């Protein structure tokens, strides 16, 4: 069920399915130490996606911009460590997609409730765009919006399901992308929620 979505973007269908219960337990543990929160954009809007992080660096947004920080501004403590299960899964998925030796230092955890969306954007805050980003979808399905190198490029809608892993590298790394407004539903493992992990080498 592996297929190439676009040059540099490979879907590993169901790659994380068997690990999902353990991944969800780890997310609960992380969120107990670094709670999910809805961040403010530099323009002053509140994002609808709730976020937290684990690893050496965490992605944040506030009135001064987007960046990676070693400390959670909400708690004043370092972000929780990246569980070995997370780093192993990310490295295996990257290797299967042709990126040997991927060792992420950051994992952004996104939580979507019905009605939540993520507007088209590029991920440009990482130091090195030659390293891939690995994403893991858990819980409710979503329509992934897959554009091109310019914001105005035509957008494809790609369904992402529980357990799907996508590796985004090479020419796909700076494409515009987003998540369509989450439809309501109930997933046996997460209830009315979609969770997404993105593994990155931030620094
Ligand atoms: C393509 N997350 O966290 S994962 C993000 O489902 C983000 O929560 C979405 O976009 C989510 O930045 C989409 C897929 C994804 C993640 C990062 C990418 C696709 C990407 C970076 C570059 C190109
Ligand atoms: Fe993104």
Is the residue at 41 inside a domain?
no
**156 is written with which tokens?**
């494809």
Q: For residue 39, tell me if it sits in a domain.
A: no
Quick one: what percent of the chain has pLDDT higher than 70? Answer: 100
- pLDDT surpassing 90 at residue 104: yes
| CATH number for 30 | 2.60.120.590
Packed helices 84-96 and 20-33: angle between N→C axes, nearest 10 degrees = 130
Identify which ligand lies nearest to the alpha carbon of 133: 1
**Looking at ligand 1, which residue's alpha carbon is closest to its atom 12?**
123
The answer to whether residue 61 scores a pLDDT higher than 90 is yes
Each residue's pLDDT tens digit, 130-177: 999 999 999 999 999 999 999 999 999 999 999 999 999 999 999 999
Instruction: Specify if 81 maps to a domain.
Output: yes
The structural domain count of the chain equals 1
Nearest Cα residue to 106 out of 68, 50, 51, 65:
68
Domain membership of residue 43 (yes or no) is no
Q: Could you tell me if residue 42 is inside a domain?
A: no
**Pocket around ligand 1: residues whose beta carbon is below 6 Å from it?**
108, 110, 118, 123, 133, 135, 166, 168, 172-173, 175, 177, 179, 196, 198
List the domain range (segments joined by +) for residue 151: 2-34+48-200
Q: Is residue 170 in some structural domain?
A: yes
With tokens 């979503």, the residue in question is 142
The whole-number average pLDDT for the span 17-41 is 98
75 Cα to the center of ligand 1, angstroms: 25
pLDDT of residue 1: 83
Confidence bin at 188 (pLDDT 50/70/90):
very high
Ligand 2 center to 92 CA (angstroms): 21
Please give the distance, rounded to the nearest whole angstrom, from the Cα atom of residue 65 to the centre of ligand 1: 18
> Taking residues 53-75, what's their average pLDDT?
98
**Distance between Cα 25 and ligand 2 center (Å):** 24
Question: Sign of torsion, CA 20 147 177 56?
Answer: positive
* Residue range 51-62: mean pLDDT, rounded: 98
Residues in contact with 161: Cβ distance below 8 Å, sequence separation at least 6, in sequence order: 13, 14, 137, 141
Q: What is the pLDDT of residue 11?
A: 96
> Has residue 22 been placed in a domain?
yes
Average pLDDT, the chain: 97
3-state SS assignment for residue 41 = coil
Torsion sign over Cα 76, 128, 55, 60:
positive
Distance CA 181, CA 19 (A): 26
Provide ipTM, 2 decimals.
0.97
Can you give the pTM of this predicted structure?
0.98
pLDDT at position 178: 98
Candidates 196, 197, 199, 200: which one to mutate for ligand 1, based on the most atoms within 8 Å of Cβ? 196
């Amino acid at each position: 069920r592996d297929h190439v979505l676009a040059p540099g973007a490979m879907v590993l269908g169901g790659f994380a399915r068997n690990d999902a219960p353990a991944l969800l337990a780890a997310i609960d543990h992380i969120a107990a130490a670094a709670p999910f929160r809805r961040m403010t954009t530099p323009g002053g809007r509140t994002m609808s996606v709730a976020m937290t992080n684990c690893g050496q660096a965490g992605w944040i947004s506030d009135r001064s911009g987007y960046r990676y920080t070693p400390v959670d501004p909400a708690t004043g403590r370092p972000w929780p460590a990246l569980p070995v299960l997370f780093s192993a899964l990310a490295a295996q998925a990257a290797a299967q997609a042709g990126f040997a030796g991927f060792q992420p230092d950051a994992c952004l955890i996104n939580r979507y409730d019905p009605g939540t969306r993520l507007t088209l954007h590029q991920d440009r805050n990482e130091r090195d765009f030659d390293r891939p980003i690995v994403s893991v979808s858990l819980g409710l399905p979503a329509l992934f919006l897959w554009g091109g190198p310019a914001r105005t490029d035509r957008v494809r809608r790609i369904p992402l399901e529980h357990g799907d892993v996508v590796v985004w590298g090479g020419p796909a790394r700076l494409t515009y992308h987003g998540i369509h407004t989450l439809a309501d539903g109930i997933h046996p493992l997460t209830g009315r929620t979609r969770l997404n992990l993105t593994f990155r080498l931030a620094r």
